[in-house]
Structure 1
Amino acid sequence: MPLRMTVRLTVPDAPSPEDRAAVLAPLAAFNRRNGPPTEILPLAVLLTDEAGSTVGGLWGKTGYDWLFVELLAVPERLRGQDLGAALLAEAERLARARGCVGAWLDTYAFQARGFYEKQGYTAFGTLEGHPVGGARHFMSKRF
């Protein structure tokens, strides 16, 4: 007869990286047993100033043959120089070198949907009313 474990719901005031790791552990174990093989790797392309400080860039990860772009930021004072397009192109180049077949990301209606469309991304879903009165767009691009 299996042992029953007593558990309760807990809501921490300040969730920690250790809390996240504890939640991720059983999911990652399940995925390793049941999903296709993959190695999830971080991917970063940074904008650095003359002093070597990071002032913006792109942050994402590759896994399951796709690049996920989590963050892309160009400081307002540097916009209009095609740096966003260069960041995205370099991330896509690196992802292709890792064997990825495409990229996906999300952006809010008040952010950069038009920019991503100019880079060849198309919306595959929209969450209307997130935030209230706006929308969140999920976009992808096949390489």
Structure 2
Amino acid sequence: MEVVNEPTAEDRAAIAAPLVIYNRDHGPPADAKPLALLLKDNDGQTVGGLWGKTVYDWMYVELLAVPESMRGKGMGAALMRAAEDVAIARGCIGAWLDTFAFQARPFYEKLGYSIFGELADHPRGGSRYFLHKKF
């Protein structure tokens, strides 16, 4: 066993390889597809957006970032709606994500997401929430 402080993409791929094989042989088809919606500034530079994937009939939102200059204009909700539309078109039945207490829980709840799990004291004194929404 070796502790690696700066693992590579190849290290991750090597760890994932036996899991991918096992899941392929024992689970339903994953049909994993990346999902990205990019927010661009006037110069065409990516300044935020949504990053996730669809897999096992659900969309997972890993990252949602709207720069300060674009907040309060419905951009976050528009990103979520667009991602949900893509997920539905791909045959997904719902979406899930996680957020910390100091982040965007009320935002997601306004969009119809509800908590299905909480990891208390992550970070200490706070919580990490897991939310989902059925389409």
Query: What TM-score does the superposition give when structure 1 sets the normalisation length?
Result: 0.93
The runs of 5 or more residues in structure 2 that have no matched partner are none
Identity %: 61
SS in 2 for 1:91: helix
| Equivalence for 2:61 | 69
The Cα offsets for residues 23-69 of structure 1, whole Å up to 9 and x where unpaired, read as 00000000000000121110001111121110100000001000000
Alignment equivalent of 1:45, drawn from 34, 37, 49: 37
- Deviation digits for residues 44-97 of structure 1, max 9, x if unmatched? 011111211101000000010000000000011211001000000000000000
Coordinate RMSD, CA, aligned = 0.6
Q: Does 1:87 align with 2:79?
A: yes
Aligned match of 1:115:
107
Q: Quick one: distance in 2 between partners of 1:105 and 1:135?
A: 14
The equivalent residue for 1:106 is 98
CA–CA separation in structure 2 for the residues paired with 1:13 and 1:113: 31
Partner of 2:131: 139
- How many residue pairs get matched? 135
Counterpart Cα distance in 1 of 2:88 and 2:31: 15
Please give the alpha-carbon distance, in whole angstroms, between the structure 2 residues aligned to 1:37 and 1:12: 32
Structure number with greater Rg is 1
Report the Cα offset of residue 109 of structure 1. 0.1
Q: Which runs of 5+ in 1 are unaligned?
A: 1-8
